[in-house]
Chain A
Amino acid sequence: MRAVPLRFAVPLLLFGGLVMFLGIGLNRDPRLVPSPLIGKPAPQFALGTLATPEVVMTREDLLGRPLLLNVWASWCAGCREEHPLLLELARAGKLHLIGLNYHDELNAGRQWLSERGDPYRHTLFDPEGKLGLDLGVYGVPETFVIDATGVIRYKHVGPLTQEVLSQQLLPLLATLQTATK
């Protein structure tokens, strides 16, 4: 039993392992909870829009092309942050951008869009958060990529950034768009 150097290395290795795991754990964002909805069909809904609350839209109205569904509210600070990016996307005009006004008031939502600009083709009006609940929304803003057949392909929680857009959302949307053509 003259293997002293090896034995001394054991606590050091254990400690190193511990530090590694703690390091990984501390650098992860605990708010990013994997959504169980990825790969599943988007939920059914029947909601009016901010523009015409009395005209009901359903899931079927949105099928046929991949789209970006952005969940926002006038009381949400992060939505203000990401709004310029959404406007820019809308100006580029390449993708179908749908808004979901979540837990908000009709007038507050309308005013928000008229003040800041409206990037959305349609904005679903969900004052009770019903569709939000079915989509597992827990922190606005959230953004979903939904393909032409209505399957949820990606979810981003928190304000969109240029980085997330160019590295995740846009490449995914591009492949989805070529797939549907």
Chain B
Amino acid sequence: MKTWRYFVLGMLLVVGAPPMASDTPASFGNPGHAARYDALLEQLRCMVCQNQTLKDSHADLAQDLRDEVRRLLEQGNSDVQIRDYLVARYGDFVLYSPPLKVSTWLLWLGPFVLLALALVVVLRLSRSRAPLALPLDDAERARLHAALNKSADSQP
């Protein structure tokens, strides 16, 4: 009986609420704003702890930027305007997915280029490989027959 209680407790620990730093669902007058606020925070990077989104980060700067996003939302800015506002100050790095432009085409298309190259190499290799079995010449065929006949004869 006790074991399963421990089991349930353990599972509760595992499924417990993930530690989110942001104070959502925050007191937005407009419920649509709360959803957009959440979505925006997940796309924006905390510049201090670089592998966290604004949603996850506890850094002071992240709190400032969250307040700023909220302020801009409540002023009626669109998502694009809010992103542009932050990019103008912090650069593309503040976005989790970098925009496709001249300086980032390698980042976006590189994997596909590599895949295409690999396919070309594989195709060329498989074509240029010599066939595994060469046809026997007459002398070899005669020896094979002899050997086969001999073993057939020796069988009872």
> Which A residues have a C-beta under 8 Å from some C-beta of B?
1, 30-31, 33-37, 103, 129, 133-136, 138-139
Contact = CB atoms under 8 A, between A and B. Distances in A.
Contacts of B47: 33, 138-139
Contacts of A139: 47-48
Interface stretch (B1-9, B26-34, B87-95): B87-95
B74 interface: no
Contact of B90 (A1, A30, A31, A36): A36
Interface string B22-62: 00000000000000000000000001101000000000110
A139 B50 CA distance: 12
Given A1-B128, A33-B93, A133-B64, A138 B88 contact: no
Say what secondary structure dominates the interface of chain B. helix
A35 B88 CA distance: 9
Given A36-B88, A36-B90, A36-B91, A133 B68 contact: yes
The 6 A-B residue pairs with the shortest CB-CB distance, nearest first, are A138-B47, A136-B89, A36-B91, A33-B93, A136-B90, A129-B64
16 contacts: A1-B128, A31-B50, A33-B47, A33-B93, A34-B91, A36-B87, A36-B88, A36-B91, A36-B92, A37-B89, A129-B61, A129-B64, A133-B65, A134-B89, A136-B91, A138-B90
A138 B91 contact: no
A103 B50 CA distance: 20
Nearest to A10: B121
B50 A30 contact: yes
Nearest to A1: B128
A64 to B, nearest CB: 25
Contacts of A133: 64-65, 68, 89
B90 A33 contact: yes
A30 B93 CA distance: 11
